Amino acid sequence: MSTFFQFEAEFIDNLRCIPMQVRLNLDTCGVKLKLVHWNQLTTAERQSLVETPCSNKQQAQAYKEYLQNLIISKTGQPANELTVDDNPPWMDISEIPAATKNKATEFGVTITLQQWQNLTPLQRFALIKLSRPSHENKNFYPALKEFGII
């Protein structure tokens, strides 16, 4: 099942950018997919990466192999790999990551622990990614609104 956020609406129709659902899968399977790689994939291949499950170790391994085979077929070499965190912060409902709290504070918002716990893992993942200093953060505030935090 595909889950897209409202803040992704401007690019979901043609999947020109990597949606959060796929970004979560990438972190789960340990592949660093660049936008240049993503843009070499067909719409059907992109849609397949959106729809392919990647929620346990077996699925993550299959997703990684499928994705790497796609990238190799397009570029002749695999995408870089990432270390997979066995306890990723988006699965931790006991603590809000400092960068996420700090980004919310920049907007005058406090995320309570109960609000954090009520979010889905994909929503927590999105807020973590959108609060990173290296990421374009224009969607952080819209995500807070969409997720009912403000």
**16-46, pLDDT tens digit by residue?**
889 999 999 999 999 999 999 999 999 999 9
Query: What is the model's pTM?
Result: 0.92
Same domain assignment for residues 75 and 94 = no
Domains in the chain, number = 2
Q: Is the pLDDT of residue 11 over 80?
A: no
Whether 26 contacts 33, CB under 8 Å: yes
Instruction: Report if residue 16 sits inside a domain.
Output: yes
Same domain assignment for residues 77 and 111 = no
Q: Is the pLDDT of residue 130 over 80?
A: yes
Same domain assignment for residues 67 and 108 = no
Whether 122 contacts 21, CB under 8 Å: yes
Same domain assignment for residues 70 and 102 = no
pLDDT for the residue numbered 10 = 79
Domain end call among 32, 63, 81: 81
pLDDT grade for 13, boundaries at 50, 70 and 90: confident
Same domain assignment for residues 39 and 11 = yes
